[in-house]
Chain A
Amino acid sequence: GAVVSQHPSRVICKSGTSVKIECRSLDFQATTMFWYRQFPKQSLMLMATSNEGSKATYEQGVEKDKFLINHASLTLSTLTVTSAHPEDSSFYICSALQGEAFFGQGTRLTVV
């Protein structure tokens, strides 16, 4: 099956700094990628839909100025958590569509 690589797998950052998470489709091109957030022992919640060459579509309640999404190429979408706070600590997972959704391995973000 198709492979989606997410980097980094874990990151610890200080409160107030920004963190960039990359999501790459390794063997296919993806015009659409999705970013999800998962709190401990909870399900995945869709944050935004990333469209290559256009602005991302954010779900209700997700701050677009805080969670910056860039989908500059058909194989790469990035999520930047700006001015991170401890409450942003979570597991972030991306997926890319090629007929079906393929998921990255996730990024564990801890803000201290």
Chain B
Amino acid sequence: AQSVTQLGSHVSVSEGALVLLRCNYSSSVPPYLFWYVQYPNQGLQLLLKYTSAATLVKGINGFEAEFKKSETSFHLTKPSAHMSDAAEYFCAVSENTGRRALTFGSGTRLQVQP
């Protein structure tokens, strides 16, 4: 069984400030971990993924995340927020075997203030 917990349903930062979105996971087998971004009334776009290679993963749009097994975390960061980063962000986990369906966290809405 897998689960994902995203702390903070809303995060607000100023433009240019650090973005930190938190994600903790639970998985009975080694996980694959993902961050997706969703703009209103749209599907999901993959930001980055961890699939048991390097623990620090770099993604698109300047985002990165670090897999910390000891903390069961996969927090998403970006050094400097841009107005266009305002969106809903979902952390997701899947097993690295079998069906590969994703289990999503509850999502974090990022607001970027000018």
Contacts and interface: CB of A to CB of B under 8 A. Distances in A.
Interface of A: 1, 4, 6, 9, 32, 34, 42-46, 49, 91, 93, 95, 97, 100-106, 108
Contact of A101 (B100, B105, B107): B100
Contacts, number: 51
Interface of B: 34, 36, 41-46, 49, 90, 94, 99-107
B42 A105 contact: yes
A98 to B, nearest CB: 11
Contacts of B46: 1, 100-102
28 contacts: A1-B46, A6-B43, A9-B41, A32-B99, A32-B100, A34-B102, A42-B106, A42-B107, A43-B104, A43-B105, A43-B106, A44-B44, A44-B90, A44-B102, A44-B104, A45-B104, A95-B44, A100-B34, A100-B49, A101-B46, A101-B94, A101-B100, A102-B46, A103-B36, A104-B43, A105-B42, A106-B43, A108-B41
Contacts of A45: 104
A26 to B, nearest CB: 14
Contact of A103 (B44, B105, B106): B44
A102 B46 CA distance: 8
A103 B49 CA distance: 15
